[in-house]
């Protein structure tokens, strides 16, 4: 392993520790980092994020809210102590239904959607033009033209040939959108999905199909999920999940079994079918003690047979995510799946289950339960049951109110869940400072990377400029490879609180809070996909007096 000297202008380690050049005092140190001081680096900053967005007739203001405040989500992912390599895919809750005739809606059925809302203006008109949110949910938010949104070709783990993909991504500072376009601004155009989707929303089944398609070779979204990446699923809906088993589509049909209809004498079913077919409540209807998810057969009886359940059991979706999580843990033992819901919960995160009966008979008839929350303009959302249980299985209490006037808090909280899984590579051995007269810790470190199937390789330090600051790639704003042949380099961050003007050497607060004085950061060259299953180890010359140099380090 080759020693890397982390002081600009110092090329020879022997002179660094033994010569008394200007501004550099000799320091009594080990001659090189030691093997027993190695630290395995947290290299996985990859996260694949799937947004499942309700595109039914009541979602205009909610989609506008999501798009307008999406910057809060992106700011967390791109923060100095996160710098996530993210992909963002978008699908809708529309999987079709016997009452959503072909042509009236265009079921995405888990296909990823990546097109400007300005090219889909018809999607923002509902009920023969009675509801038109073209300006509210698109024109007033999306300000970019087609050229600014043109998706750039990229490669995947499964396809080395670059081509446009149906998702947004930012990997090692490089995006698949044109220079000058931010992910935030792009999402303001790509995120709104319109309001003409099927009113029998199936967010769980949409997720299931989207993740299945992402693992199917002939699908456009194949390769969206990376083997070593975190997976986050975010549901945005104001109604109950209606992911039904198509073998039991008769529960919606006029000549079928009307067991779950709000009124069997109705001409057509309401969304109450979705609530009645999957939830049982106990206690006073004015304020139920509990509303629990259940599996019911076509006659309305609770069943233990998953094939007899008219709505797909949650076990179908648990099984899918559990398998994905287990596969990821083969590469990273700490890998997890994150799930979040922006839905019909109270602004304080509490849940309200109550019939409204005669006080609002139309809502009761349409949805089978009273509102879980009500927004500032009177817009009401159905309280979650199936989505509540699904979310809590993976990320307890990651439930946020769709009735909030501003989704900034919800989006920050969801992004913070991702942040918590992307831990900076703090060096907990207390790196030695070779020049105590300068504010920054000047350390001597080295890094090696083990790549499955390729073995171990030395990782060089990222390029520094003549002033000693890390060079900045103008295309990505990130680090520069020391040579054109390098695919990966490392930086040693030691700047606490902006001591230098070089933002690329700022150590994460996470590390300093734990007493560390150095953080390793890996960077990859443009177009290089970080190798799945790779792991790296870094070591530095350590301080002879850690109690003095790193007093807060355990």
Separation CA 323–CA 330 (nearest Å): 11
Whether pLDDT at 18 is above 50:
no
How do strand 168-171 and strand 39-41 relate by DSSP bridges?
Answer: unpaired
Residue extents of the structural domains in the chain: 4-42+424-549, 54-230+314-359+374-419
Say if residues 398 and 320 touch (Cβ distance below 8 Å): no
Give the C-alpha distances (Å, rounded to integers) separating 479 from 12, 121, 503: 23, 41, 11
**Alpha carbon 245 to chain centroid distance?**
28
Higher pLDDT, 368 or 15: 368
Residue 43: predicted pLDDT? 58
Q: What percent of the chain has pLDDT over 70?
A: 91
Whether pLDDT at 2 is above 80:
no
Say if residues 61 and 140 touch (Cβ distance below 8 Å): no
Residue 452: pLDDT band (50, 70, 90) is confident
Asked which of 93-107, 176-190, 294-308, 371-385 is least confident by mean pLDDT, the reply is 93-107
Per the DSSP assignment, residues forming a β-bridge with 170 are 86, 175
Residue 6: predicted pLDDT? 35
CB environment 416-428: b (16+ within 10 A), e (fewer): ebbbebbbbbbbb
Residue 23: pLDDT band (50, 70, 90) is very low
Residue 5: predicted pLDDT? 33
Residue 245: predicted pLDDT? 96
Whether pLDDT at 499 is above 90:
no
Residue 21: pLDDT band (50, 70, 90) is very low
Mean confidence (pLDDT) of the chain: 88
Whether pLDDT at 7 is above 70:
no
What are 430-451's pLDDT values in tens digits? 999 988 888 889 899 999 998 8
Tokens linked to 282: 């106990």
Instruction: Please report, to the nearest 10 degrees, the dihedral formed by the alpha carbons of residues 246, 250, 254, 260 taken in order.
Output: -100
Closest CA to 88 of 30, 151, 148: 151
Mean pLDDT, residues 493-509 taken together: 85
Whether pLDDT at 380 is above 50:
yes
How do strand 131-132 and strand 230-236 relate by DSSP bridges?
Answer: unpaired
Q: What is the length of the chain?
A: 554
Strands (E), 322-443: 337-343, 373-374, 380-381, 399-401, 425-426
377: buried, middle or exposed (CB in 10 Å: 19+, 13-18, 0-12)? exposed
Q: Is 455 left (phi over 0), alpha (psi -120 to 50) or beta?
A: left
Whether pLDDT at 81 is above 80:
no
Tokens linked to 200: 């029998």
Long-range contacts of 434-440 (CB under 8 A, 24+ apart): 434/7, 434/16, 434/17, 434/24, 434/27, 434/29, 434/541, 435/7, 435/23, 435/24, 435/25, 435/27, 436/25, 436/27, 437/23, 437/25, 438/23, 439/499, 439/500, 440/494, 440/495, 440/499, 440/500, 440/505
Separation CA 493–CA 500 (nearest Å): 11
Per the DSSP assignment, residues forming a β-bridge with 493 are 519
Q: What are phi and psi of 143, to 5 degrees?
A: -115, 5
Whether pLDDT at 147 is above 60:
yes
Residue 104: pLDDT band (50, 70, 90) is low
Q: Is 110 left (phi over 0), alpha (psi -120 to 50) or beta?
A: left
Residue 372: predicted pLDDT? 96
Whether pLDDT at 300 is above 80:
yes
Whether pLDDT at 9 is above 80:
no
What are 186-231's pLDDT values in tens digits? 999 999 999 989 999 999 999 999 999 999 999 999 999 998 889 9
Angle at 348 between CA 343 and CA 352, to 5 degrees: 60
> Please, which residues have CB within 8 angstroms of residue 168's CB and are 6 or more apart in sequence?
87, 88, 89, 114, 175, 176, 177, 183, 186, 187, 190
> Please, which residues have CB within 8 angstroms of residue 250's CB and are 6 or more apart in sequence?
256, 257, 298
> Please, which residues have CB within 8 angstroms of residue 175's CB and are 6 or more apart in sequence?
152, 168, 169, 181, 183
Q: Can you say whether the dihedral through the CA atoms of 183, 184, 185, 191 is positive or negative?
A: positive
- Give helix 203-213 / helix 314-329 axis angle, nearest 10°: 40
Q: What percent of the chain has pLDDT over 90?
A: 65
Residue 146: pLDDT band (50, 70, 90) is very high
What are 41-67's pLDDT values in tens digits? 755 688 999 999 999 988 999 999 999
- Helical spans, DSSP H, in 114-216: 134, 183-190, 203-213
Residue 345: predicted pLDDT? 97
Which secondary-structure segment (H or E) carries 219? none
């Amino acid at each position: 392993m080759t020693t890397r000297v982390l002081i600009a202008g110092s090329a020879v380690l022997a002179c660094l520790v033994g010569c008394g050049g200007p501004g550099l005092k000799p320091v009594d140190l080990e001659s090189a980092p030691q093997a027993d001081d190695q630290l395995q680096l947290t290299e996985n900053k990859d996260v694949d994020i799937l947004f499942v967005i309700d595109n039914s007739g009541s979602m205009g203001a909610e989609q506008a809210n999501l798009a307008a405040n999406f910057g809060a989500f992106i700011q967390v992912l791109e923060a100095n102590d996160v710098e996530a390599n993210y992909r963002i895919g978008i699908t809708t809750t529309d999987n079709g239904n016997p009452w959503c005739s072909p042509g009236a809606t265009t079921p995405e059925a888990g296909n990823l959607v990546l097109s400007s809302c300005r090219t889909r203006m018809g999607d923002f008109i509902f009920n023969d033009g009675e509801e038109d949110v073209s300006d509210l949910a698109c024109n007033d938010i999306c300000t970019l033209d087609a050229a600014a949104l043109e998706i750039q070709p990229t490669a995947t783990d499964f396809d080395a040939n670059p081509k446009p993909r149906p998702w947004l991504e930012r990997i090692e500072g490089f995006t698949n959108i044109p220079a000058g376009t931010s992910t935030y601004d792009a999402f303001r155009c790509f995120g709104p999905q319109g309001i003409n989707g099927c009113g029998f929303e199936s967010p769980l089944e949409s997720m299931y199909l989207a993740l299945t398609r992402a693992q199917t070779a002939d699908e456009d979204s194949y390769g969206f999920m990376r083997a070593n990446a975190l997976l986050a699923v975010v549901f945005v809906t104001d109604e109950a999940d209606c992911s039904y088993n198509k073998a039991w589509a008769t529960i919606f049909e006029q000549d079928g079994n009307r067991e779950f209809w709000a009124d069997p004498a109705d001409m057509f079913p309401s969304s109450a079918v979705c609530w009645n077919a999957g939830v049982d409540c106990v206690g006073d209807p004015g304020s139920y003690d509990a509303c629990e998810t259940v599996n019911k057969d076509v006659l309305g009886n609770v069943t233990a047979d998953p094939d007899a359940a008219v709505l797909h059991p949650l076990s179908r979706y648990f099984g899918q995510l559990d398998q994905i999580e287990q596969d990821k843990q083969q590469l990273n033992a700490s890998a997890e799946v994150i799930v979040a819901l922006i839905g019909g919960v109270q602004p304080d995160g509490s849940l309200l289950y109550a019939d409204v009966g005669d006080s609002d008979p139309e809502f009761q008839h349409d949805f089978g339960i009273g509102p879980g929350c009500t927004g500032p303009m009177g817009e009401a959302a159905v309280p979650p049951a199936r989505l509540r249980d699904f979310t809590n299985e993976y990320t307890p209490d990651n439930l946020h109110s769709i009735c909030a006037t501003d989704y900034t808090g919800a989006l920050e909280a969801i992004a913070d869940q991702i942040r918590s899984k992307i831990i900076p590579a703090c060096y907990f051995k207390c790196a030695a400072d070779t020049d105590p007269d300068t504010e920054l810790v000047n350390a001597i470190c080295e890094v090696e990377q083990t790549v499955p199937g390729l073995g171990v390789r030395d990782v060089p330090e990222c390029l520094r400029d003549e002033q000693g600051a890390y060079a900045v790639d103008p295309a990505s704003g990130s680090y520069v490879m020391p040579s054109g042949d390098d695919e990966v380099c490392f930086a040693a961050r030691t700047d606490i609180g902006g001591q230098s003007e070089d933002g690329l050497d700022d150590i994460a607060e996470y590390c300093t809070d734990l007493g560390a004085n150095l953080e390793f950061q890996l960077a990859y060259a443009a177009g290089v996909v970080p190798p799945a299953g790779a792991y790296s180890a870094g070591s530095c010359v350590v301080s002879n007096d850690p109690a003095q140099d790193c007093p807060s380090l355990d």
